[in-house]
Structure 1
Amino acid sequence: MINIKKLSVALKNKDTVRWIIKDGYSYILTEHFGLKTKKEIKGSALTALIKIIGGIPQEGQGLENHYGLRSQLNKDKIDSTISLFNISNRYKSVEFTHLIQQLDQNLYSIFKADTYIYADKTYVDLINLNKKDIEFVGRDKISPIYATKEEEKILIVPVRLREELQYLTA
């Protein structure tokens, strides 16, 4: 489900990037998105992560670059980062609408829950939408949207727009 080839683009200009390897999973988290996968990180994604983080974490280890300060994560930060991928029962199914909105130079994918939820298309592109049985869950405009398939997960932080788009209001 996760499109690793799009990861290097999604990592551009991020202020904070964490990469943890634990129990055979890679957890990659930025201020705008996160992913959990067993896929091998390779190619341009690996190159981008090494350039940002300064290395490759070992099993059970986490590395971070926070505004240019590189460090190794302690156990509490590793555990709190991994816990972000635990989806609570307060989340419910949301619909991926396939609609895209352009505002200024930015493209946003639109999800439908009780309200419309907008997510930067760059991060939605991390999801291979050609795969079947991808489940999308969320809560509201300010809670992360999760895409899950089997054990892979992507979380995307929604974008808050100043006003609802008129053609979507009923």
Structure 2
Amino acid sequence: MTQITLENTIIEKDRLKINCEHTSFVDLERFTRVDSFALLRRYQALVKEAKAAGVAVKYTQRYKRRIHDLTEAYDDAFDLYTQRFDQLVKRWKAKIDKGLFAPLSEDNELNSIYSLQNEIVAMDYRSEPISQMNDIVTSLNNIEAAIQSEDCVKIAM
């Protein structure tokens, strides 16, 4: 068995990046938790700001309802995400301390780490609460930028 020489190894609480010359084993950054109540306040502030700027507001996206509907599922999913990410950091640290040896396909410990890593990646699929809440945050950021531009006449919220 040949030990693999790693070029880049970052194992931190909020960041995992491990690669060698020919393979990227992991490159993940922990999501920041979204405070749904602060997000609702921000939504309301943006509506007021848009109206004050003379921008027409269409309520077709139903962000307020979506935030309310997602809050409980998001909190549960994010707690699980945090737990899994912490596990992944510990398992990668232990694996790197032991070393990575070729052939990798026969490494059961590495395969179980990949399985956990795939669970974490799946939590960011579009149908999952974490991804949906992050999309709302991104949309509100875009709306805020649009309101502040002088040529904005209508926004969809």
Q: Same fold (TM over 0.5)?
A: no
The structure richer in strand per residue is 1
User: TM-score, normalised to structure 1's length?
Assistant: 0.22
Of structures 1 and 2, the larger Rg is shown by 2
Specify which structure has the bigger relative contact order, considering alpha-carbon pairs within 8 angstroms and separated by 6 or more residues: 2
The structure richer in helix per residue is 2
User: TM-score, normalised to structure 2's length?
Assistant: 0.23
